[in-house]
Amino acid sequence: MTSRTSTLHSALRDALGDDVKFDEPMARHTSWRVGGPADVFVQPTSEATLAAFLEIWPDDAPLHWVGLGSNLLVRDAGVRGAVISSKRLPHALRQIDDYRVHASVGIPCTSLARQLLRWSLGPSEFFAGIPGSLGGALTMNAGAHGHETWEVVESVRLVDRHGIITERAADHFDVSYRSVSGQAAAWFVSATLRFDPDYRPSRERMQQLQDKRRDTQPLGLPSCGSVFRNPPGDHAARLIEAAGLKGLRIGGAEVSPKHANFIINADDARAADIETLIETVAERVQQRHGIALRHEVRFMGDTA
């Protein structure tokens, strides 16, 4: 450890206490349960703690953000620089008026869906089908059951790496299927969501969607949710299954026999097993169908 690193670590310990860890295994913080250590891992419990960290962290040092780790593959060699997790930020959710709410990025989408149902705000049932936090849903325009997150976004608050918070209207961003751009060098901290006054969410509809998810997806097994984006006019799961890839294994990673667009950590997989399996599936689908699958999952960290 260099003297600069030692000094930096001491400053972080003094300012953040238990909210900062060093050489923290990312396998503890991803839904695949894989991933090497992060040099610095921060779980701020307030925006003030987050601001204190950002004030200390050097401008030239790498900085990464994660939510619940449900759409993330951290490589075995780990992550250089710092990882900020939004998991322990306050799960704030309040109703602004009859059709709008303000929500922090740390709130799980399933919790968000349940409260919006209680408030009779919708369309919102689809949030129950997103296996992550609102922050992750905003970052990738996550969706389920025919709806997407940014359909209901009115505005967002962002923080840059200097701790400065700004607010932007939804039309500031370029949003498309599973993609959002326009927030370079800044990260979402909260959002104002606006719902349709003529729509009333249904408890029965939400239950049907949850039952379908339970019956068709390998819940309870380590995965990241859907690995690949659906190509136009088709479904990645259908293409993968038609290529005969259900149950294909590399090391401890397996294409789920229950849902072909899920890769599960079936037996102490390494991140390298999962990444190789993702590449293999994409190659074989290309060979069989002539279609290039694009992955939804985000990769982080060093390969060696």
Nearest to 135 by CA among 223, 50, 197: 50
The H or E element that residue 193 is part of is strand 186-194
Contact 229, 296 (CB under 8 A): yes
Which of 69, 100, 56, 297 has its CA nearest to residue 190?
100
112-140 as b/e: b if 16+ CB within 10 A? bbebbbeeebbbbbbbbbbbbbbbbbbbb
Which position among 124, 178, 190, 223 bears the catalytic label? 178
Length reported for the chain? 304
Closest among 32, 69, 77, 38 to 274, alpha carbons compared = 32
Q: Which residues, at least 6 apart from 168, have a Cβ–Cβ distance to it below 8 Å?
A: 155, 156, 158, 182, 183
CA pseudo-torsion sign 244, 245, 249, 254: negative
Q: What is the phi-psi region of residue 217: left when phi exceeds 0, alpha when psi lies from -120 to 50, beta otherwise?
A: beta
Annotated catalytic residue, options 226, 254, 256, 270: 226
Is 205 catalytic? The answer is no
3-state helix, strand, coil in the chain (%, to 5): 35, 25, 40
Residue 155 appears among annotated catalytic residues: no
Q: How far apart are CA 19 and CA 45, in angstroms?
A: 7
> CA separation (Å) from 213 to 30, 84, 133, 216, 280?
20, 30, 17, 5, 26
Q: State yes or no: is 88 an active-site residue.
A: no
Q: Which residues contact 282 (CB under 8 A, 6 or more apart)?
A: 228, 292, 293, 295
Prior bond of 62 cis (ω within 30°): no
Q: Which residues are catalytic, by number?
A: 178, 226, 296
